Amino acid sequence: MKDAYIKKVKKSLMIPASKRKAVLRDLEEAFASAAEHGETEQQVIARLGTPEQFAAGIEEQLGIDHAKRLKTRTIIWTTICLVIAVIGFFVYLTIRQQQELNGALGIIGGADGPTAIIVSGPGFDVPLVMLVIAVAALVLAVVGIIRYLLKSSKK
């Protein structure tokens, strides 16, 4: 019962690993001390509360702010998505412009004049794939910005 409780606390704690180890060590000591004083594991667990309550209490004591962490992650991922979108659109436009300049996907020859070779078949269109990736990244970035603004306006 004690081991299951400690395992759930470990899973619920969202703190740095070094602090998590110290908290779990202290929790082990609390169970050992309680056993020395004649307290059962069930009594210790009843006193400490659920693993989630215990973990939340520890995080509060340590001043862990999950809202700030989530806000930072949202900003980072939104920025990454925007960068991917910009790069994707740039690559898409560059490839399309190059294809228009060449007039075909490949030009060989040159003795009597260039020979245009148009590759057709079941392959995939690289510019189209880049465009889809860019649009998806842009959508994710917009969703991230909206979530960030909505959470900021609630405060």
* pLDDT tens, residue by residue, 21-70: 999 999 999 999 999 999 999 999 999 999 999 998 998 888 877 667 77
Q: What is the pLDDT of residue 25?
A: 94
Number of continuous H segments (helices) and E segments (strands) in the chain:
6, 2
Question: Radius of gyration (Cα) for the chain, nearest Å?
Answer: 29
80 token code pair: 């990454």
**SS3 of 133, please?**
helix
Cα separation, 142 vs 103, whole angstroms:
36
Cα separation, 66 vs 51, whole angstroms:
18
Cα separation, 92 vs 85, whole angstroms:
10
> How far is C-alpha 112 from the geometric centre of its chain's CA atoms?
57
Question: Binning pLDDT at 50, 70 and 90, where does residue 138 land?
Answer: very high
User: Rounded mean pLDDT of 128-153?
Assistant: 89
User: Rounded mean pLDDT of 77-105?
Assistant: 85
| pTM of the predicted model as reported, rounded to 2 decimal places | 0.51
The structural domains of the chain, with segments of one domain joined by +, span 2-62, 66-153
Cβ-based neighbour number of residue 54 at 10 Å = 21
32 token code pair: 């050992």
Question: Binning pLDDT at 50, 70 and 90, where does residue 123 land?
Answer: low
